[in-house]
Structure 1
Amino acid sequence: MPPFLQHWPARLSSALPALLFAAAAIWSLVVLVGWIGGPILDMFGFRQTQTAISSAYMLKDGLALRYQTPVLGAPWSIPFEFPTYQILTAILAMAGLSVDVAGRIVSYVFFLGCLHPIATLCRHAGIGREGFLVTGALFLSSPLYVFWSRTVMIESAALFFALVWLALLLDLLAADRPARRPVASWALCLTAGVLAVLTKSTTFPAFCVAGCLLVLGAVLRDVPDLRRPTVADLRGGVTRLTVAVGACLLPIALGYVWVLYSDQVKAENPFGALLTSAALAKWNFGTLDQRVSAALWSDVVLGRAVPQVLGAAAWIAPLVLGAGLVLRRVSWPLAVFAAAFAVPFAVFTNLHMVHGYYQYANGLFLVLAVGIAVAAIGQQRSRIAALALLALFLAGNAWTFRTIFYPPMTANWSASEVVRIGEKVQALVPEDAGIVVLGQDWSSEVPYYSDRRALAVAAWFPPELAQAALADPDAALGEAAFGGVVACGASDLYPPALRPMIESFKAGRRVLATAGGCRLLSPEQDPAAGGANRLQVTELLAAARVERADVPVGPVPEGFFAHPSSRLVASAPAGERLDGLYGFLDKVWAEGGNPPPVTFTLTARTADGSDMQLLARTLDPAAGEAARLPQTFSVEVPGVAGTTTELVFETAISGTDNSWGWTYWGNAW
């Protein structure tokens, strides 16, 4: 065997951790770059757009601590977290990037920044550089971290600052005499802690637990004889633990000052007052029943969080952790990190049950525990076994990412009804106007992609507040003139107490545009139109007789699908007025379709057997944008009062190619 091949197994074994680390880093970067330009709706678009819209309005109105999240009417500021991440995103977007892209980049940079303090933690755990490569590879390939680190979220920023605080705390307190450490190091440590709390307050408590326990471990390790500690040992240990607790409490205290300020600002908005820290206490912390439930520990922790953090090989993690605990050199940090992973579930119970991204704050502790255990197995028992375990975890991570996160990440969110109706709002509603959004909870999705300030009417609004806002939308929108209504879904999304006022608010408003289940309605309201007894096109067609349908017809969110060629015959009471819509489904344009011209006709078959044409129009999308928008018609049903008349709804094309002929009839109100 040639000399250079004689030692290749050992060389490969030595280089493999670094190679796997590099492969994981490249994989996370590919995921970021490959899908960096899509809408931020893939998962928890509610939270992503809430973050992004604040950065977007910083670009318009300047950087501010009293930042705007214009979704609950005026005043527009309803601050939650300190806008560390939002400010950085806005600054990067000033270079010409979209807020979506800038926010993704900021998240990913903080994600990579976590590697440096992780290396420090690995050093304190006694597993060295190679142990860091093992742990770093697990972190960089973790399905949960790969996905959420390329979203517009504050999670990676909060995690980075908390990790820096913990790493510096251990550097400062790992040895005795903390008071002799450089003042600059203490200032940096406390600054990182403050930023961690301000950026996301729910991230920091688990790090406090980990920090104090790790310092306790260092104190116990430094006592030569635990059965007979000296006065100096006790004094030094108490001092270090006191300093560690103080390093926790100071950031939390300053974070509480921010909470008081943000609550005061939110209280200026009648709906923001419903979102103060006191009002959301139960939502944040959950209940005792939740804390002891199988839904938390079995479904959320074991069924969702652990597999998303450790991938498909999570089933082997208990064996790996058990082996690591047997190796006494790493048993204490391993146990501390495992405990720190569990603490947030017991404290912020409801938040972790509802939000799949909240585990970003504590999943790292599980990664650290497993990484330390794998590295210790390799260093103290079997290197081959450790490398095999690392490869198994990385393969499982790839599989889990492909199964859980890849489908929503790669979906065509540009064709979603939120993005499409947002484009319609931008085209039809003046830039300085505001909109009322119905059927979207208090989500920022429609306001963000509409680029308009909004009042999003949520189902949990008190009826008296909702009634006051809907009675005078101009007042609710402050300086933004009332420019229209975006109504998504049916009114039964609201509780019975709100449903009548929602229906009344929508009644008599013309449909200006449609996108899936969302409609843009006019700001003007005709009291005589759209009443409860008004004829509805969709109701007529739902009971219609199908005389021709080249493609199956039926209800769609916009109305009633009638692909050409089609002929539907419905009965309507003579003498009544019928207002309706017709046109192409908006998703034709979202999916890049090129439909042929389609002719829409509406004919009345009278009692004497004659036909009366009520509508005839050909829409040619190639003629311009106007042909792509919903078209309205208003006709009086002919015939003798008290009788019924058959109405024939037809769609047809002149040629034979009816691909993309996605046409519909719908209600005008």
Structure 2
Amino acid sequence: MQPRPSASARGLVLAFTLTLAGAIGVLFLSWQASLLDRYEFRQLQTALSTFWIASEGWKLDYPLPLFGPPWSVPMEFPIYQTLVACLHNLTGWGLEQSGRLVSISFLLGSLPAIYDLLGITGLSRSRRLIVLIFIITCPVYLFYARTFMIETTALCFSVWFLASLRRGLVAFHPGWLVLTLCFATAAALTKITTFIVFGIPAAALVLSQTVFARTAPSRTRVLKLCLSAGIAALALTIAWAWFQHGDTVKDSNPFTGFLTARELQDWNFGPLPLRTDWSFWIKIQEVISGYILADGALAIGLICTAFATKNIRWGAGLCLAGFFSGPLVFANLYHIHDYYYAANAIFLVGAAGLLLASAWDNPRLPAGLNWSMLLLVLIFQGYAFYRGYYSHHRNPAPPPPEIAAIIREEVPADGVLLIFGDDWNPLIPYYSERRAVMVPGRRENESQIIDAVIANLPPHRLAAMLITGPVLQSEEDFPATQAARFGFSVEPAAVKNGYALYLPKSNAAPTIATPNPAPPADSHERFIGTENTLTPEQFPMCTPAPLRARSQFGVQPGMIDNQMVVLAHAFSELIFSPPPGARKIHAEVGLAPNAYANSLPEATDGVVVQLFEETPETGRRLLLSRALNPSTDAADRGPQTLSYTQHEEFTGELIFLISPGPDGNNAYDQAYWKHILID
């Protein structure tokens, strides 16, 4: 016998309240950590614009000062950035903490709209809470809702667009229709890829209230259909006009044309064959089981299908269509970035939640089984979060690079940095709080274009030059030539974090703390990044477990081809203490399929894998070296075996180093270790 409905309702309210409190607690973990945890490039890009909006005020062509005048590269409309800047300026809270709070608030703000939308399913008020429990325990939301990103902002606007559309169609009141237009426009301007994902649910909602609403007068149905189509068309037209304006601004700088909407089409949608590639669907499955809906929770949803009502099964199927529309339309974006699933994960976990909620009171279920299944869902989802995103809390994000603090001390607040070798990575411009002219890609030899960009600066505004990357720094003529061209000292004033800082001759005296101008013996040493202490149980694929790791992008466990691996984007190194008597190494290393899914330059140009033994007496001794370039050599795709044996036992630490290829470009160098055995 099932519990009385009233008792079950009170229990579900309590369960939701406790789960929500726990989720909020998780969202506030690592509150003071830097933004260098996951997809820091995207977080820093958003934070950089927000910093300058907070500093200089709002502009339609909001700042992204990475490429020189006009200092703007309009992408999404800056609703999120503006709100964060206002909160930061009004309260005095830290900018990064303000960004996290706004992002969390948008996730929580979407819950009332979802609750209201669930009214269309016929579920009682308390049973709707089951769906909300599924959503707030989804790992992708527990992590990305506390990042400095626009994902939950776009999600919230899109959900409220659906909720107000439903209200507008049912009540047929102009107020609701105006709200629908406002939310649709805000969603499309904030992130068009998120708004598009809501197209299938919105179309189904409109059709249910027009074409399939046989009891309503035909004139009313036609009017509702036309108004709904008009709202969508107007919102998309406004978004299109914004993108056209943004492209006009981007075309005004020779370095930003590659970021126009027309140039990014192939990047956004990906090639058609990608959608039929087996690795594409394996990657989706890995993201689902690891970051959205754990296998056990998915199984419970499937079991409940047999006990759910027909209407709920149709609703769950519609949710699945909405979920898969994301990766099918924007295949490349979803194949490469798991944070894009913040737009559509709501549909998959929502479908599973709907099925359990519908089966909740089914008399065919044994007594107490419904509560047992809900408890298991919480356990499965919690464990999925622990295995995946929680590693970013166990291993806190590295602090900002030291070179940024040196730049803040030595470069005037209105000074501009000229940066070579870092593409358009906003790391240094953000943490140094300085504008920059970043020479993107491999365009450092385009002297006329560089000169034209710098000529648009006010006089004497170019205040420092930064060079990074082993190739550029190892070329004897390049640093000296560029320093002489722009009036900087030919000797770096400081070398930190893989960056060499050059200052004008007049103030390049060696007064900067720990200048360290001479490169170390190992030319890669300066580029590795911050060292992290690791937890042995994170690395069952390594025997023994690594002692520590260093990386620019974080070393962490992850999934490749449905197997646990060590994600180790170049530059990275794992350090091991070999067991007594060990003299053999067996390892498997590779590059993730999405690293070479596209053609160059949107793909890896290869990595170099090196194994060293290091002792205090002899330093590093190279044991083995292997170059991999799966973009051009099919034989380098998939896990590659490395084996090494020596007669004497190892006496020092073993270093497993992954560096960029011969050009020193680590873009898309998404390497991994599948297996490491030292015996």
TM over 0.5: yes
Partner of 1:284: 268
**Does 1:365 find its partner at 2:347?**
yes
Q: Shift in Å at residue 439 of structure 1?
A: 3.5
Instruction: Evaluate the alpha carbon distance shift between residue 443 and residue 105 of structure 1 in structure 2; reply closer, same or farther with a 3 A threshold.
Output: same
Partner of 1:242: 226
Instruction: Evaluate the alpha carbon distance shift between residue 478 and residue 139 of structure 1 in structure 2; reply closer, same or farther with a 3 A threshold.
Output: farther
Of 153, 160, 166, 1:170 maps to: 166
Where 1:436 maps in the other structure, the secondary structure is strand
Does the 8 A contact of 2:43 with 2:148 survive in 1?
yes
Partner of 1:662: none
Partner of 2:431: 449
Q: Shift in Å at residue 185 of structure 1?
A: 1.6
Distance 2:331 2:460 in 1: 39
Does the 8 A contact of 1:341 with 1:366 survive in 2?
yes
**Does 1:142 find its partner at 2:138?**
yes
Does the 8 A contact of 2:473 with 2:479 survive in 1?
no
Q: Shift in Å at residue 211 of structure 1?
A: 0.9
Q: Shift in Å at residue 220 of structure 1?
A: 6.1
Does the 8 A contact of 2:290 with 2:388 survive in 1?
no
Partner of 1:204: 195
Does the 8 A contact of 1:491 with 1:502 survive in 2?
no
Which stretch shows the higher mean deviation, 314-323 or 342-351? Answer: 314-323
**Does 1:481 find its partner at 2:461?**
yes
Where 1:557 maps in the other structure, the secondary structure is helix
Partner of 2:328: 346
Deviations 1:573-632 (CA, angstroms, capped at 9, x unpaired): xxxxxxxxxxxxxx9xxxxxxxxxxxxxxxxxxxxxxxxxxxxxxxxxxxxxxxxxxxxx
Q: Shift in Å at residue 128 of structure 1?
A: 2.7
TM-score with structure 1 setting the length: 0.70
Partner of 1:99: 95
More helix by share: 1
Q: Shift in Å at residue 218 of structure 1?
A: 4.1
Aligned residue pairs, count = 515
Q: Shift in Å at residue 149 of structure 1?
A: 0.6
**Does 1:438 find its partner at 2:420?**
yes
Partner of 1:424: 406
Where 1:296 maps in the other structure, the secondary structure is helix
**Does 1:21 find its partner at 2:16?**
yes
Distance 1:254 1:505 in 2: 44
Partner of 2:560: none
Structure 2 gap ranges (5+): 508-516, 529-550, 552-617, 619-679
Q: Shift in Å at residue 428 of structure 1?
A: 2.0
Distance 2:288 2:430 in 1: 30
Distance 1:479 1:201 in 2: 40
**Does 1:319 find its partner at 2:310?**
no
Instruction: Evaluate the alpha carbon distance shift between residue 339 and residue 506 of structure 1 in structure 2; reply closer, same or farther with a 3 A threshold.
Output: farther
Q: Shift in Å at residue 500 of structure 1?
A: 8.0
Does the 8 A contact of 1:305 with 1:356 survive in 2?
no
Q: Shift in Å at residue 195 of structure 1?
A: 0.4
Partner of 1:189: 180
Distance 2:304 2:458 in 1: 57
**Does 1:468 find its partner at 2:448?**
yes
Q: Shift in Å at residue 320 of structure 1?
A: 4.3
**Does 1:505 find its partner at 2:482?**
yes
Where 2:437 maps in the other structure, the secondary structure is strand
Distance 2:273 2:55 in 1: 45
Partner of 2:105: 109
**Does 1:556 find its partner at 2:539?**
no
Structure 1 gap ranges (5+): 1-6, 225-231, 527-535, 543-553, 560-586, 588-648, 650-669
**Does 1:40 find its partner at 2:24?**
no
Instruction: Evaluate the alpha carbon distance shift between residue 367 and residue 412 of structure 1 in structure 2; reply closer, same or farther with a 3 A threshold.
Output: closer
Instruction: Evaluate the alpha carbon distance shift between residue 144 and residue 476 of structure 1 in structure 2; reply closer, same or farther with a 3 A threshold.
Output: farther
Distance 2:10 2:472 in 1: 61
Where 2:413 maps in the other structure, the secondary structure is coil
Distance 1:53 1:10 in 2: 52
Distance 1:140 1:517 in 2: 40
Where 1:519 maps in the other structure, the secondary structure is strand
Where 2:416 maps in the other structure, the secondary structure is strand
Q: Which has the larger radius of gyration?
A: 1
Distance 1:412 1:427 in 2: 26
Where 1:202 maps in the other structure, the secondary structure is helix
**Does 1:491 find its partner at 2:486?**
no
Q: Shift in Å at residue 504 of structure 1?
A: 5.0
Where 1:223 maps in the other structure, the secondary structure is coil
Distance 2:296 2:232 in 1: 35
**Does 1:379 find its partner at 2:361?**
yes
Distance 2:17 2:156 in 1: 20
Distance 1:249 1:370 in 2: 32
**Does 1:515 find its partner at 2:515?**
no
Distance 1:252 1:432 in 2: 38
Distance 1:103 1:270 in 2: 31
TM-score with structure 2 setting the length: 0.69
Q: Shift in Å at residue 366 of structure 1?
A: 1.1
Where 1:413 maps in the other structure, the secondary structure is coil
Instruction: Evaluate the alpha carbon distance shift between residue 154 and residue 235 of structure 1 in structure 2; reply closer, same or farther with a 3 A threshold.
Output: same
RMSD across aligned C-alpha pairs, in angstroms? Answer: 3.4
Letter of the structure 2 residue corresponding to residue 68 of structure 1: P
Where 1:423 maps in the other structure, the secondary structure is helix
Letter of the structure 2 residue corresponding to residue 206 of structure 1: V
Partner of 1:310: 293
Letter of the structure 1 residue corresponding to residue 204 of structure 2: L
Distance 2:126 2:9 in 1: 9
Instruction: Evaluate the alpha carbon distance shift between residue 259 and residue 71 of structure 1 in structure 2; reply closer, same or farther with a 3 A threshold.
Output: same
Deviations 1:164-196 (CA, angstroms, capped at 9, x unpaired): 110111122247xx3xx2x22211111011000
Letter of the structure 1 residue corresponding to residue 195 of structure 2: F
Instruction: Evaluate the alpha carbon distance shift between residue 194 and residue 555 of structure 1 in structure 2; reply closer, same or farther with a 3 A threshold.
Output: closer
**Does 1:128 find its partner at 2:124?**
yes
Distance 1:493 1:204 in 2: 44
Distance 2:62 2:411 in 1: 24
Instruction: Evaluate the alpha carbon distance shift between residue 251 and residue 245 of structure 1 in structure 2; reply closer, same or farther with a 3 A threshold.
Output: same
